[in-house]
Structure 1
Amino acid sequence: MSGIDGIVYLILIACLLPYVFAILAKLLGGFKPQDNKNPRQFLANTTGIAARAHAAQQNSFESLPLFIASILLAEYMVTSQYLIMLLGSTYIILRVLYGICYLANLDRLRSVIWLLSMACPIVLLVCVLKGVYY
């Protein structure tokens, strides 16, 4: 697999992850075909684990622009493929753990994992700014 293939997979996984949480929110909330007439209202009215899955979905969408921008800028600026893949993969793993913590209602651990996950694209952008190419 070439470097660009890995980067495309990172972006694809990051883009699909919110939908995993959306599906979980609907399944755990008892979504029915008639709820599809107004799915946003259905999700807004969920409680418990379904509401937490919905919140994980929303936060996953919110973090996407920073992640995608950092990955693409790093690739454009010819930053080390190893560094891009390391920080990108770490971000994905941490985002999955973040979602699990959200579902399990582990608020403090979730916040720590959120911070670490957001540090990955920020560190990557700093590396781009500093010209880290190794």
Structure 2
Amino acid sequence: MSIAYWCILIAAVLPYIWVTIAKQSGERYNNRDPRGWQTKQTNPRSHRAHAAHLNGFESFPALVAGVLMAQLAGVPGSTINALAVVFVVARVLHGIFYIGNQQALRSLVWLVGFLSALALMVMAALKIA
């Protein structure tokens, strides 16, 4: 099960990697007004990295819920680990494709990540029912 827990940790850190890229892609960063600073950026890469940052936070609860639900329901650890790894790989690729302005690939890997988290929840629900 520790692989899935490591995946949760990695997924928790990923948004901070993307926002670091956003800050480095824009004009000199101003920590006094970070949100205002972001809205003033003209580099599209900074905006895309910031969007990947926000999306990382949006997707994180689904992984956590899926892993914990599946574990509590008795889904095999190997299945939980595999789906958690798929989620993290998809989320890394999502950020890369988002920053790289690859919309179709970004959407595809977003779907893969979402479905992996959803699969964990569904397996948990079917085990409990």
Fold shared by both chains (TM-score > 0.5): yes
Once the two structures are aligned, what percentage of the paired residues are identical?
Answer: 33
Residue 36 of structure 1 aligns with which residue? 31
Match of 1:56 among 49, 52, 56: 52
AA in 1 matched with 2:83 = L
Q: In the alignment, which of 59, 66, 70 is matched to residue 70 of structure 1?
A: 66
Name the aligned partner's letter for residue 54 of structure 1.
H
| Match of residue 98 from structure 1 | 94
What RMSD in Å do the two structures reach over aligned CA positions?
1.4
Instruction: Give the drift of 1:65.
Output: 1.0
State the secondary structure of the residue aligned to 1:36.
coil
Question: Which of 76, 83, 87 is matched with 1:80 structurally?
Answer: 76
Unaligned runs of 5+ in 2: none
| C-alpha separation in 2, matches of 1:95 and 1:30 | 26
Note the C-alpha offset of 1:14.
0.6
Q: Give the equivalent residue in structure 1 for 2:17.
A: 20
Letter of the structure 2 residue corresponding to residue 107 of structure 1: Q
CA shift, 1:16, in A, is 0.4
Q: Which amino acid aligns with 1:65?
A: P
- How many positions carry a matched residue from both structures? 127
- The alignment's TM-score, normalised by the length of structure 2, stands at 0.92
Matched, 1:121 2:123: no
Query: How many Å separate the matches in 2 of 1:89 and 1:123?
Result: 13
Report deviation, 1:24. 0.6
Q: Distance in 1 between matches of 2:48 and 2:95?
A: 9
Give the unaligned 5+ runs of structure 1.
none
